[in-house]
Amino acid sequence: MEIFELLEQIRQRPALYLSGNSIRQLKSFLDGYYWCKHSLGVPKSPQDQHWFQFQAWIAKKYSIRSSQSWAQIILFFANDEFEALHHFFELWEEFRREPGKPS
């Protein structure tokens, strides 16, 4: 399953994939997803390449120069984990709408 489809499924039913409605849980899940792909020797797809640009896009959007993860940045600007998770999906859609991003 490609990352765009996986994120859409998580957005629709987070409890099915995450142990809580939390951006930290999402980050842990996705770290595991990519660790597994790497361990199995699965080559990076065009969607993976775009996903890896999300970190830099978030840091630029919020003018962050320190080495904070996308999840930490989003959480910092939210009231709680639940709001941060919701905001992640809004930001993800904004990121994907930019020209040159695969569908």
pLDDT above 90: residue 99:
no
Tell me the mean pLDDT in the region 70-85. Answer: 97
Tell me the mean pLDDT in the region 13-35. Answer: 95
- The domain spans of the chain are 3-97
pTM of structure = 0.91
Q: How many residues does the chain have?
A: 103
Q: Cα separations (Å) of 54 from 13, 16, 61, 90?
A: 22, 24, 10, 13
23 burial (CB, 10 Å; 0-12 / 13-18 / 19+) is: buried
Query: Quick one: pLDDT at residue 101?
Result: 61
pLDDT above 90: residue 8:
yes
